[in-house]
Every structure is written in C-alpha cells, then in structure tokens.
Amino acid sequence: MADALPAELSKVDPADAWAAWRPTDALPWDRKWVAHLYRRAAFGPSPADTDRALADGPEKTLDRLMAGEPNPALPDDLLADTAGYYGDPNGLRGWWLYAMLETGHPLREKLTLFWHNHFATSYGKVRSTALMREQNLLLRRHALGKFRPFLLDVSRDTAMLVWLDSNRNVKGAPNENFSREVMELFSLGVGNYTEKDVQEAARAFTGWHHDPEVERFEYNPDLHDDGSKTVFGKTGAWNGDDIVRLCCDRPACARFLVGKLYAFLVSETPPPKGLLAPLEERFRAGDYDIADLVRTVLGSRLFFSAHAYHKRVKWPVEFAVGAVRAVVPPRPADPNVRWVSVGDLTDPLGKMGQALFAPPNVKGWRTGTDWLNSATLLARNNFAETVATGTWPRGPTPGPGGRTVAVKKAAETKDAPGEEPPPPPDPKFDVAEVVLAAKPAGAPAVVARAAELLYGEGVPPAARSKVEAFLAAGGEKDADGPAFRQKVREAVHALMCLPEYQLC
C-alpha cells in the first residue's frame, strides 16, 4: 500500500485508488498537497490555512474541512440576516461571495457551488432574489447531507418550480420540463430512462405548483392526475414523491452522481471503466450519503496523486476567491476576513463567464477548458492585475450583518513615461506585504515565496527564471524599497497569468 499508484490510470486497482492515503517519505504532506486539498475542498488556502494544515497533518485537516470550524467566522445566523442586502442580483451575488470569503466552513460553500451548477436555476427567469436566496440556503443545508431528501426538497423548491414551468403541468395536459430534468440532469443522466418514463413521470408531478402570491410550494389535488402510471417498469398511482424515490432506487443514480462529483473533486478527464465502482457501491449502500462520499474521495490515494493534481480548470469563482485568499492581507484582528469589497468580484466574474445565480441554461455552465477563451482569459488577467497591484475600484462597502469591508480606490490616470511610479497601494491591499512578510532574501527566494502562496509549490523553471531575472534587474541594493516592492507586485501578476495558475 506504500507503493505509488501506477502511472497509467487504466492500471490503477479501484480498491487501491480509494483506500485512505498516508504520507510517506517519498510523498510527504507538504505545501503542494495542502494547496491541492484546499483548492478542491475550499477556495484555496490562506497562508494561515497552510501553516495550520502542515502542523495538523492531513487527517485532522480533512476532519476540520468536513465539519467546519466550531465557531465559524460566518455563522448561520449571518446567512439569514441579509434583509435589504440582496434586493438585486448583484447584491445577492455579493452576499454569497461574502460567505465564500468569510465562512468557517469552506467545503460546505464549495459544495453549494457544485450543487448550484447541478440544479442550475437562473434569476433571469425566476425574477426573484428572495426565491434564489432561499434555493441557495436549501443547497447549503443539503450540500453534505443525503441525496434522497435533497432531491425531494429541490422538487418542491419554489425557484425550481418557476424555472421549469411547473404551474403549466396539469392533469390532462402534462408539461414534461420538470420530469425530464429530474431524470436527465438531476439524478440519472442521458440514456438511463425512456421517453415513456418522462411522460408518465410528468403525470405524477401534475399539481405540484407554486403560489405566486406567497411564493411557496402548493399541491393542487384538483390538477393532479391520480391515475395509474408506469415508470421504470413499475406501475402505481405514483406522485412526485414516488418519482424521486424511483429515480434514486435506480443503479444509474449512483453512477451519475459519483461521476459528476469525481469530475468536480478529482479530474475532468473521464475515468476508465470500473474505477468508480467502489465509490458507487459505497454511495448506494450508505443511502446516498454525500459527506461520506466526499470524505472518501478527498482522503484517498488517488486524490493525492498525479492522477488528480492539476487535472481541473478553475471555475471563475475558484480563481477569484482563491486569489484573494492567497495574497490579499487579512484584517489584523481577524485572519479569516479580507478587506476586499465583494462588489469588486461580481463584475469580473461575469466577464470571466460565471455570474452567480445566472447559469446559462438548465444544464448549467460548461466547465473544463470551456471556461477559457480569449475574452475570459483577458478578464482573468485583468482581475489578477487588480489583485496584484491593489488597485481595487470601489470604496467602503457594507457587508451582511452591518460589517464593513474597505477598499482603496484605483488611480484615475496612469503615469506618463518618465514620471514617478504610481504610489504604493494601501497596506491593506498590498500583496508585497504578504510576499515579503517572511523576509525572503534575494530574487529567487522572493519568487519561491510568491509561488508558495499562489501554487503551493514552485512554478515551471522557464517562468521562474524569467521572473527572477526581472526582480534582480538593476540590482537589489534596496530590496525592501518602493521600486522593488512594485516589482514584487508585477511578479505576482505575472505568476497569476501563467497557464498553470488556471488549473485547480
């Protein structure tokens, strides 16, 4: 069991793949694997996260990620105390980004993001920030729970009912939108049901409506078809609850969900046949216990191997929130709280292709390399420049619960050639403060420290040598002076623009 897994994934024994990982001399628990775990189970580590994880070891760190902090920086009552803050879509996006940045339970937020894409619903059609927020809270409650009650609650969620036209689904004229998505996108996947199954399931969901006045689920028995229906070869006077149960009873349900979570937590390259079988069996045997599945994956030998490392493209939210957590200094009184205004993340995220609460269609966002094109890469690079230079455009912005996050306004004009360099950013936003806090001596040490913060390990040799040469140009007589600190900021920007930084 101490041997490394085979280099070819097709030769990896499934039982070995999902066995618990234990550090060895050849494969130690170090910054590389801490960063890897935090990129997948959270939004990337802060320097404090890394130091604590190295001291605690992998098992204790994973336990903490699974459970969340006992006294999280973002308690549940703060999530509920948002009156007046989410009255428009951008405010709602800021509310959730605030949660991602401040939460003491980052894995729960990360899984909430996953389920937001799985149960894709958009404000563009729902037209209610209150309903979208309620759905987000529902996703958060179930993110690490059991899938059966999760799917049932989603099937009664008002935003989902609006999104999939459930009020048009009535006895004698069934609308198939909801029943089709329950099978195709939520539980089974394409090819694991028939058109007849969809049609009969639509009859079972007739009368599952929402009351537009009170914006709540409403069962209308007069519009429900209570006749006999045959779904998956089983016949009965099925209703919506029965369809959810029948879908979850299908072996395809475990295969479909495990496959999607594998792509999100491990690798976007489809696995060889049979590799996920132990996970599928465990998931079904545990009655779809999401937390158990996630912990098994995140603590496995396959997860801590080259088969998982850098095998995902960062979603825009992962890119943006991760960058802030990595190099934007925290408040002195609270290392979990960044000063950056959440309003400075919403617009860049839209340009990167991921406006929260607005997936493009019922299938959600296309992930993997589809995140990357000339426009979205430019948006990523521009955001990286904002982070690295500390030129955040907004002024102080109130956060949920009356908290305030302050930012420095960007310079309105750039210096003409030959003029003095721009003034340094406010120390609250100066990444040079973070990089140089450990007092690295010399350009190679500075680059190494910046790489640790951003990557968890070194950067490719060719890029490293270029950045080192840039920092060393002109000598280092004043290695802590304004000119050198400006170079450090520009070096951080360059490192964030490398292809490797787009990977998770």
Which comes out higher in pLDDT, residue 335 or 280? 280
- Segment 91-107 shows an average pLDDT of 89
**pLDDT confidence of residue 82:** 52
Instruction: Give the 3-state secondary structure of residue 309.
Output: coil
Contact call for residues 334 and 279 (beta carbons, < 8 A)? no
Residue 150 lies in a domain: no
Which span out of 305-314, 328-337, 340-349, 408-417 was modeled with the highest average pLDDT? 305-314
Lowest mean pLDDT among 275-289, 304-318, 386-400: 386-400
Which tens digits make up the pLDDT trace of 50-67?
999 999 999 999 999 999
Residue 180 lies in a domain: no
Average pLDDT, the chain: 90
- Segment 3-28 shows an average pLDDT of 95
Residue 6 lies in a domain: no
Residue 7 lies in a domain: no
**pLDDT confidence of residue 213:** 81
User: Do residue 324 and residue 436 come from a single domain?
Assistant: no
User: Do residue 334 and residue 405 come from a single domain?
Assistant: yes
460-463 long-range contacts (CB < 8 A, ≥24 apart) are 460/498, 460/500, 463/494, 463/495, 463/498
What sign for the dihedral angle of Cα 333, 336, 342, 344?
positive
Which comes out higher in pLDDT, residue 342 or 256? 256
- Tally the residues of the chain: 504
Q: Nearest to residue 209, comparing CAs of 219, 200, 199?
A: 219
Token output for 390: 């500390």
Contact call for residues 261 and 293 (beta carbons, < 8 A)? yes
Instruction: Give the 3-state secondary structure of residue 266.
Output: coil
- Give the end of a domain, one of 394, 428, 462: 428
One-letter amino acid of 305: S
pLDDT-derived band of residue 329, with 50, 70 and 90 as boundaries?
confident
To the nearest whole percent, how much of the chain has pLDDT over 70? 88
Which residues neighbour 109 within 8 Å (Cβ) at sequence distance 6 or greater? 42, 43, 99, 100, 103, 140
Contact call for residues 126 and 160 (beta carbons, < 8 A)? no
Examine the pLDDT at 403 and tell me if it is beyond 50.
no
- Segment 334-339 shows an average pLDDT of 63
SS (H, E, C) 1-41: CCCCCCCCHHHCCHHHHCCECCCCCCCCCCHHHHHHHHHHH
User: Do residue 372 and residue 465 come from a single domain?
Assistant: no
User: Do residue 369 and residue 455 come from a single domain?
Assistant: no
Q: Nearest to residue 290, comparing CAs of 267, 319, 258?
A: 258
Separation of alpha carbons 468 and 19, rounded Å: 41
- Give the end of a domain, one of 379, 395, 428: 428
The kind and range of the H/E element at 330 are: strand 330-331
- Give the end of a domain, one of 398, 428, 458: 428
Separation of alpha carbons 94 and 88, rounded Å: 10
What sign for the dihedral angle of Cα 189, 369, 34, 7?
positive
**pLDDT confidence of residue 413:** 36
User: Do residue 387 and residue 439 come from a single domain?
Assistant: no
pTM above 0.75?
Answer: yes
Instruction: Give the 3-state secondary structure of residue 231.
Output: strand
To the nearest whole percent, how much of the chain has pLDDT over 90? 77
The kind and range of the H/E element at 112 are: helix 106-118
- Within 10 angstroms of residue 368's Cβ, the number of other Cβ atoms is 12
User: Do residue 415 and residue 320 come from a single domain?
Assistant: yes
Q: At what angle do helices 443-454 and 461-472 cross, to 10 degrees?
A: 130
- Within 10 angstroms of residue 126's Cβ, the number of other Cβ atoms is 20
DSSP labels for 121-158? --HHHH--HHHHHHHHHHHHHHTTSBHHHHHHHHHT-H
User: Do residue 412 and residue 437 come from a single domain?
Assistant: no
User: Do residue 49 and residue 61 come from a single domain?
Assistant: yes
Separation of alpha carbons 42 and 53, rounded Å: 13
Token output for 68: 């969340």
Contact call for residues 121 and 132 (beta carbons, < 8 A)? yes
Which tens digits make up the pLDDT trace of 65-79?
999 988 655 545 556
Examine the pLDDT at 504 and tell me if it is beyond 90.
yes
Residue 113 lies in a domain: yes
Residue that is written with structure tokens 């729902």 in the block: 126
Residue 112 lies in a domain: yes
Q: Nearest to residue 257, comparing CAs of 96, 148, 126, 135?
A: 148
User: Do residue 30 and residue 141 come from a single domain?
Assistant: yes
**What residues make up the domain containing 444?**
430-504
Q: Specify the DSSP class assigned to residue 170.
A: B
Examine the pLDDT at 34 and tell me if it is beyond 90.
yes
Residue 218 lies in a domain: no
User: Do residue 360 and residue 449 come from a single domain?
Assistant: no
104 strand-pairing partners: none
DSSP labels for 415-457? PPTTSPPPPPPPGGG-HHHHHHTT---SHHHHHHHHHHHHTSS
Separation of alpha carbons 454 and 50, rounded Å: 11
Please give the tally of structural domains in the chain: 2
pLDDT-derived band of residue 80, with 50, 70 and 90 as boundaries?
low
User: Do residue 398 and residue 320 come from a single domain?
Assistant: yes
Which tens digits make up the pLDDT trace of 349-391?
999 999 999 999 999 999 999 999 999 999 999 999 999 999 8
Contact call for residues 490 and 388 (beta carbons, < 8 A)? yes
Which tens digits make up the pLDDT trace of 192-247?
999 999 999 999 999 999 988 878 999 999 999 999 999 999 999 999 999 999 99
Which tens digits make up the pLDDT trace of 132-176?
999 999 999 999 999 999 999 999 999 999 999 999 999 999 999
Residue that is written with structure tokens 């993997």 in the block: 368
Which tens digits make up the pLDDT trace of 446-481?
999 999 999 999 899 999 999 999 999 876 556 678
- Segment 251-266 shows an average pLDDT of 98
**pLDDT confidence of residue 393:** 84
Which comes out higher in pLDDT, residue 178 or 416? 178
**pLDDT confidence of residue 398:** 43
Token output for 339: 């000063």
Which comes out higher in pLDDT, residue 412 or 203? 203
Which residues neighbour 477 within 8 Å (Cβ) at sequence distance 6 or greater? none
Contact call for residues 267 and 232 (beta carbons, < 8 A)? no
Residue 392 lies in a domain: yes
Which tens digits make up the pLDDT trace of 273-285?
999 999 999 999 9
Q: Specify the DSSP class assigned to residue 176.
A: -
- Segment 302-318 shows an average pLDDT of 98
Separation of alpha carbons 345 and 322, rounded Å: 12
- Within 10 angstroms of residue 138's Cβ, the number of other Cβ atoms is 21
- Segment 89-117 shows an average pLDDT of 92
Which comes out higher in pLDDT, residue 338 or 367? 367
